[in-house]
Amino acid sequence: MTAREASREILFPARSAWGLLALQLVIPVAFVICGLTLVNPQNAPVFATAAVLTLLVWILLWAGFFVVSPNESRVLVLFGRYRGSVRQPGFYWTNPFTARRKISLKAHNLASERIKVNDLSGNPIEIGGVVVWQVRDTAQAAFDVESFESYVDVQVETAVRHLASTHPYDSDDDADSTRISLRGNAEQLADELRDELQHRLDRAGLEVLEARISHLAYAPEIAAAMLQRQQAAAVIAARRLIVDGAVGMVEHAIADLGSRRILELDDERKATLVGNLLVVLCSHAAPTPVLNTGSLYT
């Protein structure tokens, strides 16, 4: 099955309707004047027939007027054939039998529903997105999809679901540090979501101006466990930072004592000093001093 060729917008050279509007207003007045001055019993039937026909044409011409407001367009279709689109604001007239579909060119905001999906690691999460879009090609929006508003709604949910399933919620310290996570790489994910949505909405002639994740959380059934996991990871990271700093301080203290010749320490005394300093620097509670009344070796 071959793919159908996409529709392409054509700008229609619509004619201004102000001159015809003035003529429409003059015609009834002219007929009244002619009827009062020229009609006699002999030509009354002819004049009545002409009046009826003129009245029908006059009423039909009124159906050809239309207005294009700012940031709106009209798609013109005459007997099933696409004639073109009018984007320029103004007051126009066209064939009265032409169907004129109004399509807004304004930017639209769409907030997707919060959906539950498994991330790349299999954890159930809740995610939602916000998308700003507008119509780029009025012919594609009118003819290539059934309803472009509903089409956007479905495609946004599909793209957000696909994005969540291809990335983990949070990065793992033991894994590759370049892996993109939903919580830690908001800007990269926004670009990825926008690109995927643009690819999906090209069929409908729509342009994605911005796409971003608006809601992200673990599902309620695992939220408490994942919170404990995050707290444990934060504690481990903090303790690692404390230990790294303490080791550097101990190393600097031993080197400083040796360079200033304050104490001559053998390996055993250095080990004792290192142990005491690490306990003091890494302990949560305030250290309690112990007085040694003897020597180190007794």
Q: pLDDT per residue over 74-129, tens digit each?
A: 999 999 899 999 999 999 999 999 999 999 999 999 988 888 888 888 888 889 99
**Which H or E element spans position 258?**
helix 220-259
Question: Is 229 strand, coil or helix?
Answer: helix
Q: Where are the domains of the chain?
A: 15-102, 108-218, 223-282
- Compute the mean pLDDT over every residue in the chain, rounded to the nearest whole number: 80
Distance CA 278, CA 292 (A): 19
Nearest alpha carbon to residue 83 among 186, 161, 7: 7
Lowest-confidence range among 3-17, 43-57, 99-113, 120-134? 43-57
Question: Between these two residues, 58 and 213, which has the higher pLDDT value?
Answer: 213
Q: Is 147 left (phi over 0), alpha (psi -120 to 50) or beta?
A: beta
Token output for 70? 């700012």
Would the pLDDT of 289 be above 90?
A: no
Token output for 253? 């203290």
Q: How high is the pLDDT of residue 56?
A: 82
Per-residue CA distances from 76 to 66, 79, 93 (Å) = 11, 10, 11
Helix, strand, coil % in the chain, rounded to nearest 5: 45, 20, 30
* CATH class of residue range 108-218: alpha beta
Would the pLDDT of 190 be above 60?
A: yes
- What is the value of pTM for the model shown? 0.68
